Amino acid sequence: MNDAVAVTDALLRVRDLRVEFGGRAVLREVSFDLFAGETLGLVGESGSGKSTLARAVLRLLRASRGSVAWRGRDLLACDSRTLRALRRDLQIVFQDPLASLDPRMTIGETIAEPLRIFELALDEPARAGRVAGMLERVGLAAAMAGRYPHEFSGGQCQRVGIARAMILSPALLICDEPVSSLDASIQGQIVNLLRDLQADNNTAMLFISHNLAVVRHLSHRILVMYSGRLVEMAPRDALFDRPIHPYTRALLAAVPSPWAPQPQPAATAVPASLPSATGCSYRERCRYAAAICAATEPPLEEVVPGHFAACHRARELMT
């Protein structure tokens, strides 16, 4: 893939985002930027907070504090009317392709729904033409528009979900585990489709997955999350060639061959845990843990240019 991304002002700027459920923090002080045309991979085991982050960014659930600035406007402070207008540029593809589609609507109706909401000037023939074109763009026949979701395979349903998300040419697409429920042979097709659609529209993409092979194929930069915190952030090649955080090293050590079905890293390498009250939440599983790791939570700091890690021994581990 082309690694060149024009870095100007960030489209999306997340700062100190925190989400609590029942008084317990499940997302803690998360900060990152996302630029036009960039794919930012987000990896971590189940329960680490990846999907919570996606939903908090889109304000599908309430954040306790922090900010999510979209082109300079804080989404968390917008009123409902303003947020609704902004949503045409903010789209998501969910993990379960069949569950994310309304079984009572044909796929043509499903893909046309965003047009009915945001492009009121389009008449029915114009909408049908746009839907037909998008179906063909995602590799489905235009004649399938009258069928229902149960008549399609999982991979085809995911193509429908992608078509619905991309029909408005959004500036941001969040993909929440979009290939994890698909056969390995289909995963590559969907990933390549997403990459092609991104190139068509210069779309910024936050791609969430536990499949590191897929993330490596797609991403320009990668965020690593553990127990609701970002523990490492780096350009793709830097992270894979020279990971710093011990948790990232454990994840990479568990990666099988590209495109092969993967067990989630949590099942084989680093079981999930609740955040510690003090200190580093990963310390009990870390071979490099020291006394300071129990006393103080490490901040996410730039260890080398563009490469951040939340580890007290990060610079030592770089040598």
Please check whether residue 160 is in contact with residue 152, taking contact to mean a CB–CB distance below 8 angstroms: yes
Residue 167: which H helix or E strand, with range?
A: none
pLDDT at 261: 47
252 neighbors 243 (Cβ within 8 angstroms): yes
Three-state secondary structure readout of 236-266: HHHHHHCCCCHHHHHHHHCCCCCCCCCCCHH
Which distant-in-sequence residues (6+ apart) come within 8 Å of 74 by Cβ? 67, 68
Tell me the two tokens of residue 311.
Answer: 């580890």
For 242-267, write each residue's pLDDT tens digit.
999 999 999 998 765 444 444 444 43
Which CATH code fits 12-318? 3.40.50.300
Quick: pLDDT tens for 167-190.
999 999 999 988 887 888 888 888
Residues of the chain with pLDDT under 50: 1-2, 4, 257-273
For residue 270, the model assigns a pLDDT of: 42
Q: What is the reported pLDDT for 8?
A: 61
The angle at the Cα of 299, spanning 293 to 305, to the nearest 5 degrees, equals 120
Pick the closest to residue 233 from 24, 13, 4, 42 (CA basis): 42
Predicted TM-score (pTM) of the model is: 0.88
